[in-house]
């Protein structure tokens, strides 16, 4: 009887083969995420009805979370190609750096884009270098932040502003781009609790055809303030789209208080405001992998909102248009 039971148990060689197969599959997955998908840069496109009725169409290139290292030539070459899209406006929502010597690489790779109208705010990885982190901490919305060495954010800011881009950190900027009058305002990184929304509080210029809010981390407390003040569109980054996602499930975490349904792409926020969160172009050098979440920039085509449109509340997170990969 014992011998019969023993014969029914899986043979040790079978168990060994299963273990090897599992380990092999895991190794292939890690290799794909770290070597292939992490460098599979893509352009997304979306149309968002946020402009005042009668406005001209506005093409906005939203870039975020470059996390640039000096030796990342593939990423730098891909960034240079984005200028061929001929956007009317470029919006950079921060986390450009991952190394003390990354500023030249960022500026050179975005040379053509810096010659276009641009707006920006900074994120935590413009101020501080990344450090190794226990991945389980990402599942805790509140955990102790550990900062790396200070990064040369002031040099990057000077390079951006010298080429004509406008820093909207805690200030309003009014400009006209492609015939569209814009009132833009931004906050410093809410992820570091550096946001001081009271410095820009109040309704934007009612004559503006686009009222644009900009933040690095899409923390709901900041999104609520923008929405309450009547902004049409908020652009944010930070989430990396979840970075490691599961098929048919999506992002496991957002690395902020934002819900998973809005971790990337267009959605609604409140009764009037639209939100776009970029999944970003880079990763931390200590977590160089993406799965089911390719690195991206997004070309947003902003069009007038229909006069008869009845906007729903925050519970609706419908995507405004198909998101196309190239």
**Closest listed residue to residue 135, CA positions, set 284, 277, 25:** 284
pLDDT for 199: 98
Q: How far apart are CA 76 and CA 81, in angstroms?
A: 9
pTM summary value:
0.87
> Which carries the bigger pLDDT value, residue 310 or residue 151?
151
CA angle 305, 309, 310 (to 5 degrees): 135
pLDDT for 63: 98
pLDDT for 27: 56
pLDDT for 319: 35
pLDDT for 125: 98
Confidence band, pLDDT 50/70/90 cuts, at residue 320:
very low
Architecture of domain 40-304: 4-Layer Sandwich (3.60)
**Closest listed residue to residue 86, CA positions, set 106, 58, 107:** 58
pLDDT for 324: 32
Strand order in the sheet with 89-92: 42-51, 296-304, 58-63, 89-92, 118-120, 166-167
């Amino acid at each position: 009887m014992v011998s019969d039971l023993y014969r029914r148990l899986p043979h040790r060689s079978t168990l060994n083969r299963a273990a090897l197969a599992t380990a092999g599959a895991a190794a292939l997955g890690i290799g794909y995420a770290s070597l292939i998908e992490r460098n599979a840069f893509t352009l997304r496109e979306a149309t968002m009805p946020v402009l005042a009725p009668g406005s001209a169409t506005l093409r906005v290139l939203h870039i975020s979370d470059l996390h640039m290292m000096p030796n990342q030539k593939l990423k730098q070459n891909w960034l240079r190609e984005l200028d061929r899209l001929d956007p009317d406006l470029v919006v950079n929502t921060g986390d450009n750096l991952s190394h003390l010597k990354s500023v030249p690489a960022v500026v050179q790779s975005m040379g053509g884009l810096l010659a276009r109208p641009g707006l920006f705010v900074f994120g935590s990885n413009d101020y501080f270098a990344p450090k190794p982190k226990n991945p389980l901490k990402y599942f805790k919305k509140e955990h102790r932040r550990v900062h790396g060495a200070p990064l040369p954010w002031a040099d990057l800011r000077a390079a951006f502003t010298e080429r004509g881009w406008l820093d909207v950190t805690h200030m309003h900027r009014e400009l006209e781009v492609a015939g569209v009058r814009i009132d833009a305002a931004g906050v410093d990184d809410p992820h570091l609790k550096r946001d001081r929304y009271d410095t820009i509080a109040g309704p934007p210029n009612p004559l503006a055809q686009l009222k644009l809010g900009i933040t690095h981390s899409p923390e709901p407390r900041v999104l609520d303030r923008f929405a309450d003040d009547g902004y049409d569109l908020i652009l944010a980054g930070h989430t990396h789209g979840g970075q490691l996602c599961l098929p048919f499930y999506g992002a496991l975490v957002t690395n902020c208080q934002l819900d998973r349904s809005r971790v990337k792409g267009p959605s609604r926020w409140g009764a009037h405001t639209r939100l776009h969160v970029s999944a970003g172009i880079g990763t931390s050098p200590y977590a160089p992998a993406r799965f089911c979440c390719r690195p991206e920039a997004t070309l947003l085509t902003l069009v007038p909102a229909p006069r008869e449109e009845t906007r729903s509340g925050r519970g609706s997170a419908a995507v405004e248009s198909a998101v196309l990969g190239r």
